[in-house]
Amino acid sequence: MTAQMLDGRALAGRIEASLRGEVDTFAGMFRRKPRLVVVLVGDVAASASYVKSKAAAAARLGMDSAVIPVAATATTADLVALVGSIARDEHGHADGILVQLPLPPHVDQVAVLDAVPPDRDVDGFHPENAGLLSQGRPRFIPCTAAGVQRMLIDAAIPTAGRHVVIVGRSDIVGKPLALLLAQRPPPGCPADGAGGCDATVTICHSRSGDLGRFTREADILVAAVGKPGLITAPMVRPGAAVIDVGINRVDGRLVGDVDAGPVAEVAGWLSPVPGGVGPMTVAMLMANTLLAAELRLGRG
């Protein structure tokens, strides 16, 4: 068995093509473009690279974007004040506001993220947006979780009644993805069970003993912990869909949390790193930014 590769770049391209028309319509109606403002703290190379990719995607779609660089010595109070000034449109109109993570250790990350107004929280991290998601009426879904769900839907991988095992319990991926995949089907959900919902979900983490015992039971296995090669072939059920969210740099190469070569010989589907979930995360951020602009101007 050789896994079918889930091409995140190609799917993200199709999503961007669809969004581009919606952005043009928005700009024609309101005489301005949706605009994303990103706060970049410090000079972490990976963070700068991620921000660059987001700005490039915005440009491709005809959106405006701005990056506000901040010294790594900035305090929590400094960043909260900056986010407040962005929210007051003191740096140009800001439909979507994103604080690039991670923040320096001395900064209270929760306080800074909570300062982003929930109606412009395009990362979906504000507690109000997390609460809406938990109730099955999401506004902004965390972008990586939304991207994983979209990949499963696009590949027609059944989720209804299937067992999903998510390795990782972060507020960014693990928890919101569990809520998404376990939710009741929204109107129009495909009858074939491939609608990205109605799954039975298990979340594993650092205190889960004998990880392989759980992962081998998964119809869909999601690895999202940031540990290269954590998921090996003996841990994968034959024919399972394996979604690799991990992004790690090893010997100058980007690799995921999955030992991709051997796992590809066991799994039915596999998302590669790079080129899998990463492009989808950016595409869903663009979708959230457009939605934020529409909500601000009464179209959402």
Peptide bond into 102 cis (omega under 30): yes
Q: In DSSP terms, which residues pair with 258 in a beta bridge? A: 231
Q: Say which DSSP state 233 is in.
A: G
Catalytic residues: 54, 100, 123
Q: In DSSP terms, which residues pair with 166 in a beta bridge? A: 203, 222
Q: In DSSP terms, which residues pair with 123 in a beta bridge? A: none
**Which residues, other chains included, contact 98 with Cβ-Cβ below 8 Å and sequence gap of 6+?**
36, 37, 38, 39, 54, 116, 122, 123, 285
Q: Is 241 left (phi over 0), alpha (psi -120 to 50) or beta?
A: beta
238, exposed or middle or buried, with CB in 10 Å at 0-12, 13-18, 19+?
exposed
Q: What is the CA angle 48-117-175, rounded to 5? A: 70
